[in-house]
Amino acid sequence: MKIVTFLGLGTTIFAVYFLFFKVDFSKPWWDGNEYQKVCATTGDENCYTLVVSSDGENVIGFGMPNGGYLVGSDSECVKASQLKESRLCRMWDQSGDKWDIMKQ
């Protein structure tokens, strides 16, 4: 713990929180339907604020601005320390397209 306290109070609180609460970064951070930032991974940086569905274990899908709904065929979530966002989920839709989902 001396190394952690050496880095400062903010880091100490952060480390204590994760030591005791054991955040599981492999699962979505929400359960149900919530607004999230959704970006297409096609390279053209299309991002939207959309209602995304999760069962707490996987990303289920999300509604598109044109009224359509994309259903996920698979998803994975990770800790994204190199990004501004602390967590990231990636969903593959039934067409094989990838979507990044970040906390709004």
Q: What is the pLDDT of residues 59-103, one digit of tens each?
A: 999 999 899 999 999 999 998 766 565 789 999 999 999 999 998
Measured over all CA atoms, what is the biggest interatomic distance in the chain, rounded to whole angstroms?
54
Q: Which residues have CB under 8 Å from 27's CB, separation 6+? A: 56, 57, 58, 77
User: Is the pLDDT reported for residue 43 higher than 90?
Assistant: no
Strand partners, 77: 89
Percentage, residues of the chain above pLDDT 90 = 55
Sequence-distant (≥ 6) Cβ neighbours of residue 30 within 8 angstroms: 36, 52, 54, 56
Query: pLDDT at position 4, please?
Result: 44
Hey, which of 7-11, 37-41, 44-48 has the most confident mean pLDDT? 37-41
Q: Does the structure show a pLDDT above 90 at 37?
A: yes
